[in-house]
Structures are given as C-alpha cells and as structure tokens.
Amino acid sequence: MARITIENLVKNYGEVKAVRDISFEVADGEFVALLGPSGCGKSSTMRCICGLEEISAGTISFDGKPVNDVRPRDRNVAMAFETYALYPTLNVYENIAFPLRSANWPNERLAAKVKDIVRAMELESILDRLPSELSGGQAQRVGLARALVREPSVFLLDEPISHLDTRQRHRMREFIKHIHNELGYTMIYVTHDQEEAMALADRIVVMHEGAIRQIGTPDEVYNDPPDDFVAGFVGEPPMNFIEGSIVRADGKWMFRAKGQTVALPDRWLAVGERLPTQVRLGIRPFYVEPSLDPNAPYDMRGEVFLSENLQDLGIVSIDIEDLRLQVVTAPSFRPARHERISLKFNPSYIRLFDLGSGKAIRPEHI
C-alpha cells in the first residue's frame, strides 16, 4: 500500500482554474472521499494523482517519493470509473484475469489471485457469463475486481456507482467497504453523493470551486462544519438556515428573525456582546421538535406548507413568512396543510455563521 501526499496542487485548463493550491495526505490503508458538487475539482485531483492529467504546479508523492514525472503505468495505481468498460467478448473470469495475463503472470499464480478476488467480490456464480449477460451491479463488481486484481499501491474510484439504482448502490457500498476492510488498500473515492462519502470514508475532503473547504471524519464534517457551504451541502434533508440579528432581551442574548426570538445556548452567553450584529443561524431538521399544541414551549412558530410521509420517517415543511424550514418527524406525525405549528430547537445543535464570509462562528474563537 502507499501513503499519498498532495502539496500545493494546482491544475489549470487554460484560463479555467480547476484545482486551486490544495494540500492533504492519505495515510497508508486509509479510505478518503473527495466530496463536492460537479465542477468542484475532485475528479481533476484524482486524475492528477494517477497521472492522467499533467499538474500545473505542486507535488504529488507516494510514500514520500514525488511521482510528478512518473508515467501513469508505473505508478501502480488502479482506477474504477462510472463506466466499467468490460471487454465484451471475454467472460467474467477472463475480464478479471486480463491485467495479469498482460503482465505475463504465471498461470498458477494468476489463477490463485483471481480466485481470491472473485471470492472477495462474491462473483463465483457468474464467472462464465459475458458482460452482456450481467446486471449493472454485477458488471460494476467485475470492473472493480479487474482493477483490484493488480495489487495496486493506490486504488482510485471516480463516481463508480452513481448510475446504479438505489438498491444496487447500497449493495455496492457494502462491497466496496468490505473490500477495503479485508484487503486494506489505500483508497480515494470521488463522489458528489454525501451519503456515499459518509457511509464509506475514514475521512472526507470537501471541495468547492477547486478549493478544500474541510478535511475531517464524517462526524466532524456533519457536526462541526467550518462554513455554511459545508453545513448546507452535507446532510439530507439539508440544514435549515435563518438570517437574523443578535439582540439583548430580558438579560439574555437572543437571535431575532421574522419577529420571533430564539435564546442562544449557554455557550454563547459570555461572548454575546462580541458576536456580529447580523448572523445566519443553522440547525439540522433532525434537531427541531415540532408540536401542534398551542401551549407547548417554542422558539419559532409557523404554518405547515407540506407534510411528507416516507413511512420510516416524516418530513414537514413549515413557512414562517417568506422563510421555509424543514423538520424530520416520526411517521405518525401528520399535520394538515396550513395548520399552525410550534418549533423547539435543540440548543446543543444550533450553529451560527457569519453573514458576510459564511464562516462558522465558534465561542472559543471570538
């Protein structure tokens, strides 16, 4: 396996700055996801790592040795793409064995290696089939197996399961995580799907407009985002944002918006006077408790716009003047459209963001 170090990587396509001076490291055997919207630079970064793109500036190192000038074929990197491009005239076994035959592996050693990968990917029952006889999920597993069989130092996956249906994606996520746990490859996984990144990765590199916005564990990215972009991009349903002002009322520091006030959590009380006057409050839909009882304690009140019953949970959209919030509820909670509803925010999960820069405001940094 290999440790990958990216230092001040820049990739330009003419006047387009695809990757803007990014640095990060992937430990030996670590699973790291590059996460971000389309056009954020994540695929360009991966193509630079494998050598398919020439970098504009910076250094890429494997185990401390720069590989900027090393040919792609000599980097010992395996890649899997959304399009798995199996050889149509070869059966599953021969598709998997092809890289080893091309490298002139002895037959006995080749057979043993293919057997190991086939077992790990649970492909034993379809070895004689041609690609045209495979389902999408089966073909994707064969493509992964063909990449893995080479014993790469680094394994790179670029949106490998994005075209599969929901059930197949869930199944393939299980296979990919299983392969990583069993074989211990250093893996970089490119995706725009935050659910895939959260489910698979040891750490996540969140990218936007060619820059890194956060590097952290799934827990860190979800619970402690550094800015409102990461906070809004990660999480489904997305975080609620409310623009308002910080005011002093009844001896307490409060957040005021739409004519209503929310008491700030205790951690903000000592630094309330140093907070910006205008801020953006963020809270995830899972941490808002709705109630139809007009006498229930509340932080904000609004009107039900839509109630969605997804059987295992409910999602209720609430209008407060021109602001729309979402809350996640038990499936049995089914308010009527236009019904008045009270919302209580869990203070432990209230986040504040600077209205100008979008950066998270943390009490310990004020």
Q: Residue 282 CB: number of other CB atoms within 10 A?
A: 20
What pLDDT is recorded for position 1? 66
pLDDT digit of tens for each residue in the chain (366 aa)?
A: 689 999 999 999 999 999 999 999 999 999 999 999 999 999 999 999 999 999 999 999 999 999 999 998 889 898 877 666 789 999 999 999 998 998 899 999 999 999 988 887 789 999 999 999 998 878 888 888 888 787 788 889 988 777 777 777 787 788 888 888 888 889 999 999 999 999 999 999 999 999 999 999 999 999 999 999 999 999 999 999 999 999 988 778 899 999 999 999 888 888 888 889 999 999 999 999 999 998 999 999 999 999 999 999 999 999 999 999 999 999 999 999 999 999 999 999 999 999 999 999 998 877
Fold classified for 240-365: OB fold (Dihydrolipoamide Acetyltransferase, E2P) (2.40.50)
> First-to-last CA distance in the chain?
43
Give the Cα separation of 186 and 21 in Å (integer).
23
Q: Residue 317 CB: number of other CB atoms within 10 A?
A: 17
- Please report, for the chain, the start and end positions of each structural domain, with discontinuous segments joined by +: 4-233, 240-365
What pLDDT is recorded for position 249? 83
Give domain 4-233's CATH superfamily. P-loop containing nucleotide triphosphate hydrolases (3.40.50.300)
- CB-based contacts of 209: which residues, under 8 Å, 6+ apart? 20, 39, 40, 41
Strand partners, 253: 248
What pLDDT is recorded for position 338? 96
Where are the alpha helices (H) located in the chain, listed in sequence order?
A: 42-50, 92-102, 107-121, 136-148, 166-183, 194-200, 218-223, 228-233
The C-alpha R_g of the chain, in whole angstroms, comes to 25
Q: How many angstroms separate the Cα of 199 from the Cα of each of 170, 219, 347?
A: 10, 11, 27
What pLDDT is recorded for position 183? 80
Tokens encoding 32: 């790291």
DSSP H or E segment with residue 302: strand 300-309
